[in-house]
Amino acid sequence: MIELRHRLIFLRHGETAWNVAGRLQGHADIPLNAKGLAQAEDAGRTIGRIVGREKARLEAFDFVASPLVRARRTMELARGALRLDPFTYRLEDRLMEMSFGRWEGLTWPEVKLDDPTMAARREADKWSLVPPEGESYAMLCDRLSPWLGAIACDTIAVAHGGVARCLMHLLGGTATERAPMSDIWQGRVLVFEAGKYRWI
């Protein structure tokens, strides 16, 4: 478990059409739908309630997002809801969603029809199984760990469901058997602090 000396406020990107359809997104660059746009603004207002809306207090945070469009747009709308410049934030490649490789764009029932052997192996070990040409949760954690180790101030990050599950393991001690099954909500805020996490 990584000991983080600063507060990390995490947003999962808002809803996309592929979320609604149950399609594996991974690195596919899918935009927010109308509900996702509203969720992003709601999340910004939630941050305002947590942190306060004073500009000096908010500007003390590092704002960082995955480079995928669904995360960038979520960040921009959240910052706008906080009355901050929507475009003043950093991009961080290590916050990209885990890659599902050849499975991207498929629903899980389609994966099971297309690749039943690998699908069964993933259901048996969701944490460690690497999809064809993709990444596992374990590999994603290896990608995230150096970024976490470099955090030097309170941070607001926008990324993805797989990233949130790895953070729950790395920062909150959630077991590798449980983390991949954890619900990660869109439009809500996940706060990591002092070795614990809570949804708001």
Residues with catalytic roles: 13, 97
Q: Give the pair of three-digit tokens for residue 136.
A: 């596992």
- The strand pairing partners of 32, in sequence order, are 16
From the CB of residue 55, how many other CB atoms can be counted at a distance below 10 Å? Answer: 11
- In total, the chain counts a number of residues equal to 200
- CA distances to 7, 82, 156 from 53, rounded to whole Å, are 17, 7, 14
Helix (DSSP H) and strand (DSSP E) numbers for the chain: 8, 6
Contact 169, 144 (CB under 8 A): no
Q: Judging by DSSP bridges, how do beta strands 90-91 and 196-199 pair with one another?
A: unpaired
Alpha-helix residue ranges (DSSP H) falling in the chain: 17-21, 34-51, 55-59, 69-81, 108-114, 116-124, 137-149, 161-172
- The strand pairing partners of 7, in sequence order, are none
Rounded Cα distance between 46 and 67, Å, is 23
